[in-house]
Chains A and B, each alone.
Chain A
Amino acid sequence: MGSVKISQLTKEFSGVQALNNVNLDIQEGEFFALLGPSGCGKTTTMRCIAGFEQPTSGTIHIGETKVNHIPPNRRNCGMVFQSYALFPHMNVFENVAYSLNIKQLNAGNLATKLPIYLRLLNRKLGKYPKAIEQKVMEILEYVELDKHATRLTSELSGGQQQRVALARALVMEPAVLLMDEPLSNLDQKLRHSMRNTIRRIQQDLGITTIFVTHDQEEAMSMADRVAVMDQGEVKQIGTPIELYSRPSTPFIANFVGTSNVLKGEVVGQENGHSIVKGHGFLLKSMNHVEKNDVNVIIRPENIKAFKPGTISEDQLTNIIEGKVLVSTYLGSIVRYDIQVEEYQLVVDTTFVPGEAILTEGEKVQLTIDPERVLLI
Chain B
Amino acid sequence: MKNRLRSFNGLTVVKILIYAFFGIFLLLPLVSVFLVSFTSQPINLLGSITDPGILSSTIEKFKAISLANYEKIFTNKTYFSAVTNSLQLAVLVALIVIVMCIPIAYGIARTTMPFKKTIAALCTIPLIVPTFISAYAIIIMFGRSGWVTYIYNALGGEGMLLDPYSMAGIILVQVFFFFPYALWPMVAAFKVSDISLEEASLNLGARNWFTFIFVTFPLAIPGVISSALLIFTVSFSDFGTPIILAPKDLNLLVVEAYREIAGFFNWGGAAILTVIMVLVAAFFFWLQHLFTKGKNYGSVSGKPKQQKLNDAKGLTRTLSVYSLVIVIVPLLAMLSILLQSLATTWGKNPLPNGYTMKHYQTIFTSSIGNIQNSIVLALGALILSVIIATFVSYFVVRQNSSKLDFMTSVPLVVPGIAFGIALIQTFNTAPLHLTGTALLLILAYTIRRLPYMVRSTMGTMRSIKQDIEEAAVNLGATPLTAAITIIGPLMLPGIAAGSILVFITVIKETSISILLAPAEWAPMSLAIFQNILRGEYYTAAAMSVVLVVIVLILQAIANRISKNQL
Contact = CB atoms under 8 A, between A and B. Distances in A.
Interface in A79-123: 79, 81-83, 85-89, 98-99, 102-103, 105-106, 117, 120-122
B472 interface: yes
Interface stretch (B14-22, B131-139, B485-493): B485-493
A85 B5 contact: no
B486 A87 contact: yes
Given A85-B471, A117-B484, A52 B476 contact: no
A141 interface: no
B475 interface: yes
A72 B474 contact: yes
Contacts of B5: 51, 54, 69, 71-72
B500 to A, nearest CB: 21
User: For B2, B4, B472, B481, which residue has the most chain A Cβ atoms within 10 angstroms?
Assistant: B481
Given A85-B467, A87-B468, A106 B490 contact: no
B493 to A, nearest CB: 10
Interface in A163-199: 168-169, 172
B490 A103 contact: no
Contacts of A50: 470, 474
B112 interface: no
A88 B484 CA distance: 15
Nearest to B469: A85
Interface in B341-365: none
A147 interface: no
Given A73-B478, A172-B475, A52 B3 contact: yes
Contacts of A54: 2-5
Contacts of A87: 468, 471-472, 486, 490
B486 to A, nearest CB: 6
Given A53-B2, A53-B3, A85 B465 contact: yes
A79 B465 contact: no
A82 B468 CA distance: 11
Contact of A172 (B2, B473, B476): B476
B168 interface: no
A261 B322 CA distance: 76
Interface in B441-479: 465, 467-468, 470-479
B467 A121 contact: no
Interface in B258-317: none
Contacts of A168: 471, 475
B489 A73 contact: no
Nearest to B470: A52
A74 interface: yes
A300 interface: no
B485 A117 contact: yes
Contacts of B484: 117, 121
A262 B318 CA distance: 77
B48 to A, nearest CB: 40
Given A87-B486, A89-B489, A117-B485, A99 B467 contact: no
Interface in B108-149: none
A122 B492 CA distance: 12
B365 to A, nearest CB: 41
B322 to A, nearest CB: 48
B6 interface: yes
A358 interface: no
A74 B476 CA distance: 6
Contacts of A98: 472, 475, 477, 485
A122 B489 CA distance: 9
A99 B485 CA distance: 12
A286 to B, nearest CB: 48
A69 B6 CA distance: 10
B467 A83 contact: yes
Contacts of B4: 54
Main secondary structure of the interface of B (DSSP, over half): helix
A121 B481 CA distance: 11
Contact of A85 (B3, B468, B476, B481): B468
Contacts of A72: 5, 470, 473-474
A207 to B, nearest CB: 15
A117 B483 CA distance: 12
A103 B477 CA distance: 8
A374 B3 CA distance: 45
Given A53-B3, A69-B5, A81 B472 contact: no
Contacts of B468: 85-88
B3 A103 contact: no
Contact of A77 (B465, B474, B488, B489): B474
Contacts of B481: 102, 105
User: For A52, A54, A69, A122, which residue has the most chain B Cβ atoms within 10 angstroms?
Assistant: A52
Interface string A34-52: 0000000000000000111
A99 B3 contact: no
Contacts of A74: 476
B489 A102 contact: no
A121 B485 contact: yes
A172 B471 CA distance: 13
B250 to A, nearest CB: 56
Nearest to B9: A71
A43 to B, nearest CB: 11
A322 interface: no
A99 B470 contact: no
A78 interface: yes
Contacts of B473: 52, 72-73
Interface in B479-509: 479, 481, 484-486, 488-490
Contact of A79 (B471, B479, B485, B486): B471
Contact of B476 (A88, A106, A117): A106
Contacts of B476: 73-74, 76, 99, 102-103, 106, 172
B419 to A, nearest CB: 36
B475 A102 contact: yes
Nearest to B467: A85
Contact of A78 (B470, B474, B479, B486): B474
A99 to B, nearest CB: 4
User: For B2, B477, B488, which residue has the most chain A Cβ atoms within 10 angstroms?
Assistant: B477
A355 to B, nearest CB: 50
A54 B479 CA distance: 16
Nearest to B485: A120
Interface in B386-434: none
A125 to B, nearest CB: 12
Nearest to A52: B470
A81 B467 contact: yes
Contacts of B485: 98, 117, 120-121
A76 B488 CA distance: 24
Nearest to A54: B3
A6 to B, nearest CB: 18
B3 A81 contact: no
Interface in A317-372: none
A81 B2 contact: no
Contact of A99 (B2, B6, B475, B490): B475
Contacts of A105: 481
Contacts of B488: 121
Given A51-B5, A54-B4, A102-B476, A81 B471 contact: yes
A102 B474 CA distance: 11
User: For B471, B472, B473, which residue has the most chain A Cβ atoms within 10 angstroms?
Assistant: B471
Interface in B46-75: none
25 contacts: A50-B474, A52-B474, A53-B2, A71-B6, A71-B478, A72-B473, A73-B477, A74-B476, A76-B476, A78-B474, A79-B470, A79-B471, A81-B470, A85-B467, A85-B471, A86-B471, A87-B472, A88-B468, A98-B475, A98-B477, A99-B476, A117-B485, A121-B484, A121-B489, A168-B471
Given A76-B476, A121-B485, 9 more contacts: A52-B3, A54-B2, A54-B3, A85-B467, A87-B490, A89-B489, A121-B488, A122-B489, A172-B476
10 closest A-B pairs by CB? A99-B475, A85-B471, A85-B467, A102-B476, A120-B485, A79-B474, A81-B467, A85-B468, A71-B5, A73-B473
